[in-house]
Structure 1
Amino acid sequence: MISKYRTIGITAVTIASLTAVLAQTGANSVASGKREILLQTTESWNGKPYTHYPTGQPQLTTIKLTIAPHTALPWHTHPFPNVVYVLSGTLTLHDKATGKTLVVHQGQAVGESVDDVHRGESGDEPTILLITYAGTPGVPTSVPAKGEKAEY
């Protein structure tokens, strides 16, 4: 009988110790995350190199932009580098000066052009984009081309 109670006591102490350790460290384990580079580039989709960042206080801006099916955005420019990630749908980019195009599909990222007039066009379904701009406070992220409406 003493042996039985001794085993129960040792088990109870072990469980209490483990509970205390888990309470101190939390239930989550510590591990490195899995990195997947979606885009790393020194040039925009139309082949022009990024030559500089704007001067002044940095400001990152991320927007989610939804474009209705079969819709072309107005012609516009961006004053600083930005990256577009297609959450859903497809995006066809058009460069006005060269006529060059690029189709970007769901799950793909692309560096947008800086100071080049361009626009995006959706396909058969709504296109949802996540866009991150590396800009400065007070400078718009998108500038309409002459005579065009704002992109958003």
Structure 2
Amino acid sequence: MPRLRHAVAACLSLAMTASVAGHAQTVASGHRDILLQTDHAWNDMAYGNYPTTRPELTMIRLTIPAHTALPWHTHPVPNAGYVLEGQLTIHDRETGKSRTFHQGEAFAESVNDTHRGESGDTRTVVLLTYAGTPGTPTSIPARGEKPEY
């Protein structure tokens, strides 16, 4: 009789575990919001072709104090940004164009074009994602400038 009780208890335990596990997981598609999809930068400069080497993705969280302009720089690879906090005004040195991106907005940065970002009245936090290759820097200071980060 004790064996039967143990077997029944084991079966009940297994059935309850399977029932809980079966209800704990739902399989469904997620919802996506496309924040940015483009073939050119914020200043209308088209992107060129990718190199034929292995890709390397880099993601940076960049914090810029209030009322601060970053040094002039270029990016040798395509990258996209998303403003987590504050606002970021990007200035193009050659054309004089500028555009401001606010919290919750995404932007595509220019490639091989000298520019810089500038924060507003509060600190700015930006999430930057670079689509590069191993050994390629994400940012190159303009002549005589400090590094961007």
Q: TM range, normalised to the smaller chain?
A: 0.7 to 0.9
Does structure 2 conserve the Cα–Cα contact (< 8 Å) formed by 1:54 and 1:80? no
Q: Distance in 1 between matches of 2:52 and 2:74?
A: 18
Does structure 2 conserve the Cα–Cα contact (< 8 Å) formed by 1:85 and 1:131? yes
Aligned counterpart, 1:97: 94
Aligned counterpart, 1:67: 64
Aligned counterpart, 1:141: 138
Deviations 1:109-150 (A, max 9, x none): 000000000000000000000000000111110000000000
The one-letter code sitting in structure 2 at the alignment partner of 1:143 is: I
Q: Distance in 2 between matches of 1:146 and 1:45?
A: 23
Aligned counterpart, 1:78: 75
User: Are residues 1:37 and 2:34 paired?
Assistant: yes
Structure 1: 5+ residue stretches without partners: 1-14
CA RMSD of aligned residues (A): 1.6
Shift of 1:26: 5.5
Q: Secondary structure at the match of 2:60?
A: strand
Deviations 1:3-32 (A, max 9, x none): xxxxxxxxxxxx868624334435131111
What TM-score comes out, normalization by structure 2 length? 0.87
User: Are residues 1:150 and 2:147 paired?
Assistant: yes
Alignment equivalent of 1:124, drawn from 121, 124, 129: 121
Aligned counterpart, 2:49: 52
Shift of 1:77: 0.1
Q: Does 27-36 or 91-100 show the bigger shift?
A: 27-36
Q: Distance in 2 between matches of 1:22 and 1:56?
A: 49
Q: Secondary structure at the match of 1:139?
A: coil
What TM-score comes out, normalization by structure 1 length? 0.85
Report how many aligned residue pairs link the two structures.
138
Q: Distance in 2 between matches of 1:101 and 1:22?
A: 58
Structure ID, larger Rg? 1
Q: Does 51-60 or 17-26 show the bigger shift?
A: 17-26
Structure 2: 5+ residue stretches without partners: 1-11
Q: Secondary structure at the match of 2:24?
A: coil
Q: Secondary structure at the match of 2:19?
A: helix
